[in-house]
Amino acid sequence: MTFTHSPADHPLLQGHEAEALRRAVEFARDGVAPGAAERDAGEKGQVDWATVREGHRLGLLRMALPREMGGLGLSQLGIALTLEEIAAADPGMALVFGATGLFQTPLLVSGDAPLQERYLTPFLGDEPVLACNAVAEERNGTDLVLPQNAPHAQEMTTARRSGGEYLLNGTKKYITNAPFATYATVLANLDGSAGSTGLTCFVTELEQDGVTRGEVHDKVGYRTAPAGELVFENARVPEGNVVGDERGGWDLNVAIGNLTRVACAGVATGIARHALRRAVDWCGGRRQGGRLLHEHQMSARKLADMAARVSSARALYLDAALKADNVLPTPGYEPAVAKLVADRAAIDNADAAMALIGAQAFQRDDGMDRVLRDAYGPRIYEGSPEALALVITGELFDAPGIR
Ligand SMILES: Cc1cc2nc3c(=O)[nH]c(=O)nc-3n(C[C@H](O)[C@H](O)[C@H](O)COP(=O)(O)OP(=O)(O)OC[C@H]3O[C@@H](n4cnc5c(N)ncnc54)[C@H](O)[C@@H]3O)c2cc1C
């Protein structure tokens, strides 16, 4: 048995999903992991197109697209397991594929056939196409995650109707894939609505007058995923590019968040698993006090706690994925709990691995600094622990008999 707790042959996946996951496992191991350290050390805002291209060949930029359309047709379960594999090798690369999926998800859940035909087909071609979901702004982070905060949003990106189109104005910040994305789903507030109460989702072509790529971010972690600003100055969007309804952005945002948190939990679990792997390799070879480190009870306890964190994080995201795949509307509770636990597992396992490996882990060339830096990413996006706590407790008090 390989040690990694790899879900490669997961019994819940069958047929094409199991086959897709097997290919992703090989790709993560042979195609993604070997270059991760070099990519991490590179200039800000770069993307490794060779690796992206290989992932695209395997379908990782069309994971959620239906098979009839030429996609992989993966369930949320399949997507989360796949992203755990990629993240265990390089979480930034998982984000590159995942953020493109985040653009596609609103189009898929809205069921808008013309938009799907026009904006999902490009992901089926020979060349990889990246996309992004642009929500966050300089002044609005969590206020665009929690719908109850809508009245408090400040200086939102606006959308103003002008004939048969909308004009977008504003700046989006911290957007994964922004430097290279061809398309974005942009959440903007209908002009005149308070805060973000008029939130509306627009499919926006980024290669057009009125859109510039602003600052490229120099991130601490996830350095292998490019991120930056998108600046809209009277950027034109045809009226047919509204996803769902005018002012329907919050419903969409919440639904997408509930779905996406499952995959985010998979990514965090991958980071926690990688840290565990590093600690086990080290404790199985390093001797102090005449014994291998894992034979000391205190170290054994640390390792056992790390393994338990990986297993519990995975169990929770699998549960959330099964609900997301089978219950409509997508529940908020299980994905939020899964992400809360997985985000913490990534940080705690990175910390424990640093302690167990000691001075070797403190060297730049060891690679543990990357794990540590990446481990702090998941708890920022798609709901901080505090935001998730409000989602979770909201459900506890709204439906007290259920849980
Ligand atoms: C690696 C990475 C990738 C990202 N990718 C994207 C992307 O592709 N698209 C995109 O749109 N955004 C992306 N983001 C941005 C992300 O969406 C925001 O960082 C997130 O919404 C939180 O906003 P903020 O960082 O401005 O923090 P803030 O919202 O300012 O929060 C700061 C702190 O205050 C706490 N806080 C805020 N509000 C409350 C409250 N109501 N109650 C209690 N505590 C609260 C938070 O929990 C946090 O601890 C990414 C971020 C990172 C780190």
- Taking only the tens place, the pLDDT of each residue in 218-256 is 999 999 999 999 999 999 999 999 999 999 999 999 999
What is the model's pLDDT at position 13?
Answer: 80
Confidence at residue 399, expressed as pLDDT on a 0 to 100 scale: 73
Task: Report the alpha-carbon distance of residue 385 to residue 343 in Å, rounded.
Answer: 8
The single residue listed with the structure tokens 């972690």 is 221
pLDDT at 342: 98
Measured distance CA(336)–CA(390) in Å, rounded: 10
What count of other Cβ atoms lies within 10 Å of the Cβ of residue 180? 20
pLDDT beyond 70 at 8: no
What the block records as the tokens of 117 is 């035909």
Query: b/e map of 360-385 (b: 16 or more CB within 10 Å)?
Result: ebeeeebebbbbbbbbbbbbbbbbbe
* Tokens 């999903």, located at residue: 17
Q: What is the mean pLDDT of residues 34-56?
A: 97
Give the ligand 1 atom nearest the CA of 132.
8
DSSP 3-state of 160? strand
46 CB contacts (<8 Å, ≥6 apart)?
Answer: 39, 226
Instruction: Indicate which residue's Cα is closest to atom 9 of ligand 1.
Output: 175
Which atom of ligand 1 is found nearest the CA of 141? 23
User: Per-residue confidence at 351, pLDDT binned at 50, 70, 90?
Assistant: very high
Pairwise CA distance, residues 274 & 92, whole Å: 14
Architecture of domain 250-398: Up-down Bundle (1.20)
Q: How confident is the model at residue 398 (pLDDT cuts 50, 70, 90)?
A: confident
pLDDT tops 90 at residue 1 = no
Nearest CA to ligand 1 atom 35: 386
The β-bridge relationship of strands 183-190 and 158-162 is parallel
Share the mean pLDDT of the chain.
Answer: 95
Predicted confidence at residue 12, as pLDDT, reads: 77
pLDDT for the residue numbered 284: 98
Which of the four pLDDT bands, split at 50, 70 and 90, describes residue 4? very low
Radius of gyration of the chain (CA): 21
Residue nearest (by alpha carbon) to ligand 1 atom 11: 135
Residues 182-199 have a mean pLDDT of 97
- Looking at residue 14, what is its pLDDT? 76
Among 381, 388, 390, 392, the mutation site with the greatest number of ligand 1 atoms within 8 A of its Cβ is 381
Q: CA separation (Å) from 246 to 163, 184, 193?
A: 15, 17, 12
Cα–Cα separations (whole angstroms), residue 130 to 32, 67, 96, 344: 18, 20, 8, 29
Any idea which residue has 């390989």 for tokens? 2
Mean predicted confidence (pLDDT) in 103-118 = 95
**Which protein residues touch ligand 1 with a CB less than 6 Å away?**
99, 132-136, 141-142, 145-146, 149, 174-176, 222, 227, 377, 380-381, 384, 386-387
pLDDT of amino acid 2: 42
Could you tell me the pLDDT band of residue 401, with boundaries at 50, 70 and 90? low
Q: What gap in Å lies between CA 2 and CA 88, rounded to an integer?
A: 14
Averaged pLDDT for residues 369-376: 98
Query: Domain residue spans in the chain?
Result: 15-124, 131-247, 250-398
Distance (angstroms) between ligand 1 centre and the Cα of 145 equals 8
Give the CATH fold of the 131-247 domain: Butyryl-CoA Dehydrogenase, subunit A; domain 2 (2.40.110)
Per-residue pLDDT of 121-176, as tens digits, reads 999 999 999 999 999 999 999 999 999 999 999 999 999 999 999 999 999 999 99
pLDDT at 385: 98
Place of tokens 């913490």: 344
Type of residue numbered 40: D
What pLDDT does 403 receive? 64
Strand 287-288 to 291-292 pairing: antiparallel
Q: Is the dihedral of CA 305, 307, 309, 311 positive or negative?
A: negative
The rounded distance, in Å, linking the Cα atoms of 359 and 357 is 7
DSSP alpha helices (H): ranges in 33-162?
Answer: 36-40, 49-57, 76-89, 91-110, 113-120
Virtual torsion, Cα 154, 227, 223, 353, nearest 10 deg: 40
| pLDDT score, position 326 | 93
275 and 307 Cβ atoms separated by less than 8 Å = no
Which residues does residue 158 pair with via DSSP β-bridges, in sequence order? 169, 189
List the structure tokens of 136. 């966050």
Across 18-22, 259-263, 352-356, 397-401, least confident range: 397-401
Where are the alpha helices (H) located in 358-384, listed in sequence order? 368-375
Q: How confident is the model at residue 3 (pLDDT cuts 50, 70, 90)?
A: very low
What tens digit of pLDDT does each residue of 78-110 get? Answer: 999 999 999 999 999 999 999 999 999 999 999
Report CA(382)–ligand 1 centroid distance (Å): 7
pLDDT for 362 beyond 90: yes
Strands 131-134 and 183-190: parallel
Q: Which two tokens stand for residue 402?
A: 């259920």
pLDDT at residue 71 above 70?
yes
Q: What mean pLDDT is predicted for residues 199-209? A: 98
Q: What is the pLDDT of residue 128?
A: 98
Q: What is the mean pLDDT of residues 280-304?
A: 97
β partners of residue 230: 172, 213
- Answer yes or no: CATH 1.10.540.10 is held by domain 15-124: yes
Task: Indicate if the pLDDT at residue 400 is higher than 70.
Answer: no
Four-CA torsion 194, 195, 197, 201, nearest 10 degrees: 120
Positive or negative, the CA dihedral 44, 93, 5, 348 is positive
